Amino acid sequence: MPRSSTASRTPSAAPARGKQPHTVRIIGGDWKRTPLQVLDLEGLRPTPDRVRETLFNWLGQRLDGLRCLDLFAGTGALGFEAASRGAARVLMVERNAKAARQLREIRERLSAQAVEVVEADGMRLAAGLPPCSFDVVFLDPPFGEPLVLARALESAAPLVAEGGYLYVEAGASLELAEIDALAGWQIARQGKAGAVHYHLLQRENDE
């Protein structure tokens, strides 16, 4: 998922995926097959095409009317994919200035009116957002850093509306019972690609 603010990722901890691609492509929706450039930035780790395809199959292909948050936007592959598939709002947060500038350039090129790009630290920004203000949150914090992942989950989970989804990439399979921030959540689907474990979590409706 693209994603943690790119400058904070540690390349030695990132999974080996062969040669870094120069572009990734939007898989479906209005901008299907549109290439997105992958900048040569330390630790930038776009979500692989087949993982994104699986994720959006899980979400039902179309995201019409949904509010989405991409908290560690990186290349923007997840956020622009969501917008391509009809999301009503996509807030993309990226703290690396060069990557954020590229996201804004892509937004203008696509005339992606539903997309808002904010250059900021994702977890700090999340602390100021209203609870339950998004239907889908994409979360791909720095790979291989459990403490950062735990903080990111604590920041992101309250932002998801009842019945909404939290997509998480991590270096190991999540054990929800061990994560206080995910009380009241369930793993809807999960998979593994190389060293990356990816999960689609759903927030249960409050009784």
The token duo for 194 is 């190389």
pLDDT, mean over the chain: 86
Measured CA to CA, the distance from residue 189 to residue 64 in angstroms comes to 21
CA angle, corner 100, sides to 134 and 128, nearest 5? 40
Helices (H), 111-174: 122-127, 146-156
pTM of the predicted model as reported, rounded to 2 decimal places: 0.86
What average pLDDT does the segment 37-46 reach? 72
pLDDT tens column, 52-108? 999 999 999 999 999 999 999 999 999 999 999 999 999 999 999 999 999 999 999
What average pLDDT does the segment 116-124 reach? 95
Q: Which helix (H) or strand (E) holds 194?
A: none
Find the distance separating the first CA and the last CA of the chain, reported in whole Å: 32
The token duo for 2 is 């693209």
Q: Which residue has the tokens 């249960």?
A: 204
| Domains of the chain: residue spans and CATH | 6-203 (3.40.50.150)
